[in-house]
Chains A and B, each alone.
Chain A
Amino acid sequence: MPLIYAKPGEVLHIRSIGGGRNLSKRLAEMGLYPGSTIKIISNQGGPVIIAVGETRLAIGRGMAAKIFVR
């Protein structure tokens, strides 16, 4: 499912990241790549806040729609 449907507290794995090459590379460098584990901190309609290790990342909804998790 796309990240925008994830619920707070869920621990998920990234399956794939859509969008341009540049973007997926940037995300990878911040710790978001296929296979990495994330935890949803908050998802209230605005940007989604996720935890990648100890980092908290805010991901805009447009972007979150292109990140598939399970």
Chain B
Amino acid sequence: MQAQAPMLLVEKAKSTTIAMVGNPNTGKSALFNALTGGNAHVGNWPGVTVEKKEGKFRHGGLTFNVIDLPGTYSLTTHSIDERIARDFILSGNADIVINVVDSTNIERNLYLTVMLLELGIKSVIALNMSDIINREGIRIDTEKMSEMLGGVPIVMVSATKREGINELKDILRDTSSLKHPEFKIPYGDVIETAISKIETAVKKLHIGYDTRFTATKLLEGDIEITETIKNNGGQEVVKVAMREAAQIEESIGYDIETAMVEKRYAFIDKVVRECVKGKSYNTVSLSDRLDNILTNRVAGIPIFAAVMWGAFQLTFSIGGIFADYIDSLFGTLSEIATSWLSSIGVPHLIVSLLTDGIIGGVGTVLVFLPNIIILFLLLAFLEDSGYMARAAFVMDRIMYAVGLPGKSFIPMLIGFGCNVPAVMSARTISSERDRLLTILINPFVSCSARLPIYILFTSIFFPKHQGLVVFSLYALGIIIAVLSAKLFKLIIPSLKGHVSPLVMELPPYRFPTLKSLLAHTWERTSSFIKKAGTIIVAGVTLVWILSNLPAGVKYASEFTYMGKIGSIIAPIMRPAGFGFWQAGVALLFGIVAKETVVGTMGTLLGGEETLSSAIAHLFTPLSAYAFMVMSLLYIPCIATIGTIYRETNSLRWTLFSVLYSILVGWVAAVVIYQTGLLFT
């Protein structure tokens, strides 16, 4: 055993970096999981991979680092997502590229393949979804295809069925057999002459990229490559390229980009004709028939509303069954802990911290775990089935009226789960302006962390109409988001302008596998539990400490430091109907994470057991509703604020988002409370 140790070290040093590249919705994330065994996010809305995801696997004594790049249609950059993918590929940091191709949709996918091959980077093509084409009786001659594509290795895989994964790994292991592909698209005499002229000029510059690739990109007028060449002393080369392009355009009568795209598709057509057999076109698929109903002009929106309403009903009805069990579990746990810790002589103060503080606070949050699991499971189902993209589609008309593209509805939907990935998913929006707008309104979309607050209060004040009341809060969040977008467009000069036109892929409906649904749900749920175990424990501990100091005062009374902090906030909240210090403290600590609002109340009001009666005493149904509205709107949590800053790269917009939401939250709560008073 010991003799092997040094060898392992040597192997560790030589790891190979693999970048996974492919169109959106090709199952790239699923293949990433199949390769690395990790449980990365698998979804179905366009551009699911918003983060740079990394994983590792070992095969044949080698270590591979896998980087899953955002889905992209080409190597031209239209959105930030695509820029991330392209920049990484061009940086040369990847030793090998796995080009994931959806073999049920091979023509469109091969466009990116052709671009990658032109770039001259070492690559392997993974023809994914082999199980589906086998079932449909389609045969792909991979040998022939490989030959036509300059000798690039091609493997049939099924990421979901885990087929062909080992073959793919074997090819990656034999990296020496991979070479830079010898591949040329025949662009025809006119363009070829121009390319070789530009190539000769490019060769003198000694830049890192493939010279033919650079020449083609210059001829196409690619903005980034042109800039790079200019910055490397190639002004003359750029001029040559522009002159050539102008000449060609004059002779063919239309723009050169279209001409080159046509040539690429003509080539792809030939490849598909010769290598893919048994494909039937012009069939109306089950997906299309479903779409006739689900995206129907009249029925689409009501169906979507019904789906969301049903999802909330399920979340509460099923989740509620388990909530009581967890509730009594923590009650019992607290009792056992108290008597046991006291019996072994632990000081009373520590016992109080552990039971009132931590078990009380965290227990109050974890009671809502079943609801959250069900919500995540339902969201995962909607995403993986392909329905999410349809939701964006049916909402497009409404969104357009507001001044947002339909695509920005997807971040809103993701926001129901968590605003952090939602803000990041705005990266798929190509217009900077629309993207900023989408980010700024996202915190108003009610995330799952706010759910515990709603459930706690509705179960006390609106037990018969829980689903309806919570639905109204989600709806209010969306309405405020939409109105804010409208307002921003009206008054902020840099956000004015036309909506970028909708072009969106509708992925085929798929019945999600149980495995991917569970993986998906677990990934999100575990981060919720982790949050309960870290940030929320820290939050409630701090609340507990501040509720015990200065020494000698009664625990959780208004004479403690906590009470004093709360008393400063309380008067501001009086017009909204909850002008007492406990509410002020809960809202303050809710900034850390919104679940902490409930956790803090649990700690301050004596844990799960007495919480309900204490709250019923402090609030009225009206002030409870106003408090829920405040919790919904008042400020994004710290994680979301951080993400907004990272994504906008602007302190000004981040600050704007924070201040604006505090103002909106307060105004909304006050308006609701004061209006409500008129009717009671």
Contact = CB atoms under 8 A, between A and B. Distances in A.
Interface of A: 11, 19, 21-31, 33-36, 39, 41-42, 44-47, 49, 51-60, 62-63
A47 to B, nearest CB: 6
A56 B505 contact: yes
30 contacts: A11-B282, A19-B501, A21-B255, A21-B257, A24-B255, A24-B257, A25-B257, A25-B258, A25-B261, A26-B78, A26-B503, A29-B76, A30-B503, A30-B505, A31-B111, A33-B265, A34-B254, A36-B265, A44-B297, A46-B295, A46-B397, A49-B393, A53-B105, A53-B106, A56-B287, A57-B503, A57-B505, A57-B506, A58-B406, A62-B502
B11 interface: no
A51 B296 CA distance: 17
B188 to A, nearest CB: 14
Contacts of B254: 34
Given A26-B503, A58-B506, A47 B265 contact: no
Interface string B488-529: 000000000000011111111000000000000000000000
A12 to B, nearest CB: 12
Nearest to A44: B297
A24 B257 CA distance: 9
B262 interface: yes
Contact of B296 (A19, A33, A44): A44
Nearest to A54: B105
Contacts of B187: none
A37 to B, nearest CB: 9
A17 to B, nearest CB: 8
Given A24-B258, A34-B262, A36-B265, A60 B406 contact: yes
Contact of B502 (A30, A55, A58): A58
Contacts of A54: 104-105, 107-108, 508
Output the residue of B261, B297, B397, B504 with the most chain A CB within 10 A: B261
B73 interface: yes
B309 interface: no
Counting from the closest, the 6 A-B pairs by CB-CB distance are A60-B502, A63-B501, A44-B297, A28-B261, A54-B105, A29-B74
A46 B397 CA distance: 7
Contacts of B292: 42
B108 A52 contact: yes
Nearest to B221: A21
A21 B76 CA distance: 13
A47 B73 contact: no
A29 B73 CA distance: 6
A34 B259 CA distance: 9
Contact of B400 (A35, A49, A51, A60): A60
Interface string B231-258: 0000000000000000000000011011
Given A24-B258, A42-B291, A49 B503 contact: no
B6 to A, nearest CB: 50
A16 to B, nearest CB: 8
B282 A31 contact: no
A51 B282 CA distance: 9
A21 B258 CA distance: 9
A42 B505 CA distance: 14
Given A25-B257, A47-B502, A58-B502, A42 B295 contact: yes
A49 B291 contact: yes
A55 B108 contact: yes
B258 A55 contact: no
B291 A53 contact: no
B143 interface: no
Interface string B97-129: 000000011111001000000000000000000
Contacts of B265: 31, 33, 36
Contacts of B296: 44
Contacts of A29: 73-74, 76, 111, 261
Contacts of B108: 30-31, 52-55
B394 interface: yes
B147 interface: no
Nearest to A11: B282
B224 interface: no
Given A42-B295, A53-B107, A63 B503 contact: yes
Contacts of B430: 26
Nearest to A9: B284
Nearest to B298: A44
B396 interface: yes
B182 interface: no
Contacts of A21: 255, 257
Contact of B393 (A25, A47, A55): A47
A29 B254 CA distance: 17
Given A33-B265, A46-B397, A23 B501 contact: yes
Output the residue of B78, B400, B501 with the most chain A CB within 10 A: B501
Interface string B74-101: 1010100000000000000000000000
A37 B385 CA distance: 28
A27 B503 contact: yes
B141 interface: no
B107 to A, nearest CB: 4
A62 B258 contact: no
B261 A33 contact: yes
Contacts of B51: none
Nearest to A27: B503
B397 A62 contact: no
A33 B258 CA distance: 7
B288 interface: yes
B128 to A, nearest CB: 13
Given A29-B261, A49-B295, A60 B503 contact: yes
A28 B394 contact: no
A20 to B, nearest CB: 10
Contacts of B287: 56
Contact of B291 (A27, A30, A41, A63): A41
Given A53-B107, A53-B108, A54-B105, A30 B73 contact: yes
A8 to B, nearest CB: 8
A68 to B, nearest CB: 13
B106 to A, nearest CB: 8
Contacts of A51: 288
A27 B265 CA distance: 13
Contacts of B258: 24-25, 28, 33-34
A30 B78 CA distance: 12
A57 B25 CA distance: 13
A64 B32 CA distance: 36
Nearest to B25: A55
Given A28-B257, A42-B291, A59 B111 contact: no
